[in-house]
Structure 1
Amino acid sequence: MTMTSPSRSRRWTAAALPMALFTVLATGCASTHGLAPSGAPTDADTLSAQQSLGDAARADATFPRRNWWTALGDRQLDGLIDEALRGTPSLEVADARVRQAQAQAGLADAARKPSLSASAQYAGLRIPETIAPEPLGGDYSGVGIVGLNLKHSFDLWGGHRAKWEAAVGQARAAEVDAQAARLTLSSQIASAYVGLAQAFEAQDVANAEQARAEHLLALGQQRVQAGLDNRMQVRVAESAVAAARQQGEAASHQIEAQRHAIAALLGQGPDRGLAIARPELLKAPAPAVPAVMSSELLGHRPDVVAARWRVEAAQHGIKASKAEFYPTINLSAMVGLAAGNLADLFSSQALLLQGGPAISLPIFDGGRLRSQLARSDADYDLAVAQYNGNLSTALREVADAVSGARSLDAQIASVTQARDAAQSAWTLANSRYRAGLGTQLDVLAAQRPLLQADQQLAALRAQRSLAAIELYRALGGGLELASPTTASTSSAP
């Protein structure tokens, strides 16, 4: 039998350890084979929108201001939105989610730092004599221990940092979501306010139509009494009066409903809506978007910026999952005092030292790590798909708002021309009536197309204001948001 000297054994062990460690590392790396994400973020510059935007894309155009709603020209609306942005339940929910994400990032940051804790313990034991004879049996012994415990896991492969960076990305996405909630709230209030303005205009037209129909009814009744006409015209006029009254009631209900909706958006009860006065005639600025809208939109649209942060977070999540395949080295140490007699606990002989490093590597885990990495890859692909979808949706919404505004401007111009003609016809009918060349029936008949044109204009002006609000929202509502660099989201991990 051959004997090996202790010194030769130590040399062999020192030479074998690096090879063994390399084998362990190779085994850990090989287990990630075949797992990789498949998604890739879309380059915004590849999504062309210049032809769709047409002359609305101008080099001198800028993104909206943060208080974009002031361009609509109604001070009451300005006050309502300012009131809402000071705090409503929907904003409180978004802010709470921000705090949740920030706390989660704090936990991830704490997990990658050393921890130190203090402990004090006293433990006693008496072994029954029925189990062990004297001197062990029947004797009570106690030990008091006071110490400091140090624990630290070395981040050799960057896994702990990746988890922290992923949590930070999610926190930043939540912060952007909170800004998106404010943009959504302001646009909802502005849209409801436009609906309130339209309802008041519809009520005006309905009241004017009811007055016209009642006048027509009175004339019809006079003509029947004079034997100049039959009762058919009276019945037609009665139907017109009832229809106009119904339109007035519907407009009144719409006024109440829009006031209630605004009050709810303010986080208040329905009575708050009663204090909202009739809106002024809202302005609808001509549609204009920056010529560099495709690329610059990335830093203004909250949903796009939040999606980019989630891509960044998912990218770090993959790095963290990959780090789980590699060895981990943990350090634990305890420095304290221990003594069987409490009086001796603080003596020089009571010093207690314990600790050292530990290395571990998963070998058989039933596929847990591969499944975890596959899930991280899927999370990344999902985040990329949502980012790409949000980007294309953002451009579509801008183009839709611009084309809608252009179409409505053309419709308003046509209806305005028709209304001018109806106004001229009504004026002429009045002149002929005063000159004795026409009748009141002619005047009332000429008034109907005028009121119909007024009704159409009220609806089109409301739609045009809504298109302006939608364009402001689609362009990001004047928000300037910090987002990840293009390089971090342009390539898969």
Structure 2
Amino acid sequence: MIPIPASSFLPRAARPLLPAVLALALAACASSGGLQPQGRLLEADSLRSERTLATSDLSVSGFPASDWWRSFGDPQLDVLVAEGLAGHPSLDAADARLRQAEAQAGLARADRLPSLSVSGGYTGLRLPESMAGDEMGGHYAGSSQVAFDFSYGIDLWGGKRASWEAAVDTVHAAAVDAQAARLALSSGIVQAYVELDRAWRANDVAEQELERAQKALQLVRQRQTAGIDSVLQVRQAEGRIPVAHQQLQAAQQQIDAARTALAALLGQGPDRGLSIARPLALQVAALQLPGVLPSALLGRRPDVVAARWRVEAADKRIATARTRFYPSFNLTALAGVVAPSVGDLLESGSTFAYLGPALSLPIFDGGHLRAGLAEADAQYDLAVAGYNQTVVDALREVADQVNAVRSLQQQSQSQQQAVATAESAFDLAGQRYRAGIGNYLDVLATQAQLLDAQQALTTLHARQLLAAARLSQALGGGFEPSAGDAGAPASSSSSVSPHS
């Protein structure tokens, strides 16, 4: 940057040359030609999803409520989510990032404003006669001074404003990120709670299996005493007992692990999990699918909204980088008083002043400005790519969970029939065995089939609950965009055209 003084400070003979000098400087200045971003924001409606979502038998309604987990019908779950949202470390980190973004926006705003400072001091000096001679040497001289320093970089091309707007957009993104962190945490708590419910149901199945094994062993022993069965049948029946105990122990380990996971999600130690009671019978609520997908999803997903704000911030940074190619004008002024003593500071002869307007224009910088603009363009393209990928992933997550809900409903109905059939077969095999017209191998086979069917039904029930939770999360989890979020441009035209 080469400073060019104001014409009033030039010698009179040199003033006619000023226009020529300016013209030469403008011709030689750094150019931003040929540099522009390549990214284009994805239009959500171009992602076809009507056929996939039309096959869903979910009723058409609005988006989930902000307290969507209440649909599971368990007051303890409501308490746990509220506790987790009250102060988990991940939320503290998200809030700290928001405050950091707000502070950076404050710095960008301050850079647009003039600065004024005041300074005062006292200076004393005594030089030896051997150095300064008789006139100046050997005497002590002091002075007091008070000065006001004013400076202002005039924003001729709007670069500072664009930089501040980019910082404000980053604040918006950080605020939405904080909401996304809360959604992720509440969803994590719900899913961990579903896992706790599944572990308890697995414990119930293991207890039923142990009860069946104990009753079978009792019957076989009675028949062995009566001389009907041999020791082989007794050993076969005894072998089912430790297997059932192992399944009980495994279920208890899963209960303990789910409690520990919940305690961590609450930001507490493992002992907090010990006070978490068994979940109530969690309800698989009748899920509803908004009829305005996919375009409306963009404003209801916090990750999509945050990505869009990052695109806007990157767009403003391009504008800032472009203004660095243009001339800049800075105004500096210094005024104050200097006197040998404090009492003389108010005298008119003690005042001094300095005014320093300066115009600077980049001519040759080794490609520094072009590299900076190219980097800003690339950052914009990265933000656009991130936004586009987030939109694609958001719609995929909705489709995946809709398909999962539909399929799991059908699987659950089929598996309930399988359990009923296995129970009937086991009862019939037991009756035939007690009547002496059946063998114990039939009892063992039908007992194993019943156990497998019950375990599969327990897993399917948990998967249904998880699909319900994940669908609510995929639909934004009740996120309500603010007026500013709703107004952020979502098309490429507003972001790219200024740089063309």
User: Taking structure 2 as the reference length, what is the TM-score of the superposition?
Assistant: 0.90
Q: Write the distance in 2 (CA, Å) between the matches of 1:22 and 1:291.
A: 61
Q: Which moved more, 1:472-481 or 1:51-60?
A: 51-60
Q: Structure 1 residues 49 and 374 mapped into 2: Cα distance closer, same or farther (>3 Å)? A: same
Partner of residue 84, structure 2? 84
Kindly provide the CA deviation profile for residues 193-246 of structure 1, in whole angstroms up to 9, marking residues without a partner as x: 000000000000001111211222233333334433333333332332222111
Q: Which residue of 2 aligns with 1:3?
A: none
Q: Which moved more, 1:478-487 or 1:191-200?
A: 478-487
Q: Does 2:296 correspond to 1:296? A: yes
> 1:24 maps to what in 2?
25
AA at the equivalent of 1:410: Q
Report the counterpart of residue 133 of structure 1 in structure 2.
133
Q: Closer, same or farther in 2 for the Cα pair 1:488/1:25, shift >3 Å? A: farther
**Separation in 2 of the partners of 1:66 and 1:179?**
11
Q: Which amino acid aligns with 2:480?
A: E
**Which deviations, in whole Å up to 9, do the C-alpha atoms of 1:399-442 show, x marking residues without a partner?**
111111111111101111222333444566677789x6878967
The residue aligned with 2:208 is 208
User: Contact 1:216 / 1:444 at 8 angstroms: preserved in 2?
Assistant: no
* SS of the residue 1:148 aligns to: strand
What code does the residue aligned with 1:412 have?
Answer: S
Query: 1:336-375 residue pairs with structure 2 within 5 A?
Result: 336-375=336-375
Q: Which of 458, 461, 486 is residue 490 of structure 2 equivalent to?
A: 486
Q: Give RMSD over aligned pairs.
A: 2.6
Unaligned runs of 5+ in 2: 1-7
Q: Distance in 1 between matches of 2:454 and 2:62?
A: 34
Letter in 1 for 2:322: K
**1:286 to partner: Cα distance:** 4.0
Residues 1:168 and 2:168 aligned together: yes
Rounded to whole Å, the distance in 2 between the matches of 1:59 and 1:255 is 34
Residues 57 and 290 in structure 1, CA contact (< 8 A), matched pair in contact too: no
8 A contact 1:32–1:322 mirrored in 2 = yes
Could you tell which deviates more after superposition, 276-285 or 156-165?
276-285
1:75 alignment counterpart: 75
Q: Are the equivalent residues in 1 in contact too, given 2:41–2:491 (CA < 8 A)?
A: no
Gaps of 5+ in 1: 1-5
Change (3 A) 1:490 1:247: farther
* CA–CA distance in structure 2, aligned partners of residues 314 and 452 of structure 1: 55
User: Higher mean Cα deviation, 289-298 or 198-207?
Assistant: 289-298
Are residue 326 (structure 1) and residue 326 (structure 2) matched?
yes
**Deviation at residue 109 of structure 1 after TM alignment:** 0.5
- The offset of 1:26, in angstroms, is 4.7
- Structure 1 runs (4+) greater than 6 angstroms displaced: 429-434, 437-440, 442-445
| Aligned-pair CA distance for 1:27 | 3.7
Q: CA shift at 1:466, angstroms?
A: 0.4
Q: Is the 8 A contact 2:146 2:336 kept in 1?
A: yes
Greater Cα offset, 132-141 or 365-374: 132-141
1:443-458 correspondence runs (5 A): 448-458=448-458
- Structure 2 residue aligned with 1:64: 64
Corresponding residue SS for 1:363: coil
For residues 11 and 124 of structure 1, the distance between their equivalents in structure 2, rounded to whole angstroms, comes to 42
Residue aligning to 1:40: 40
Query: Residue deviations 1:128-169, cap 9 Å, x none?
Result: 333332312333322221122211100011111111111111
Are the aligned partners of 2:37 and 2:380 in contact in 1 as well (CA < 8 Å)?
Answer: yes
CA distance in 1 between partners of 2:33 and 2:211 (Å)? 81
How many residues matched? 483
Q: Is the 8 A contact 1:308 1:489 kept in 2?
A: no
CA distance in 1, matches of 2:449, 2:186: 37
Query: Contact 1:50 / 1:57 at 8 angstroms: preserved in 2?
Result: no
1:83-102 equivalence runs, <5 A: 83-102=83-102
Q: Which residue of 2 aligns with 1:13?
A: 15
Distance 1:318 1:382 in 2: 13
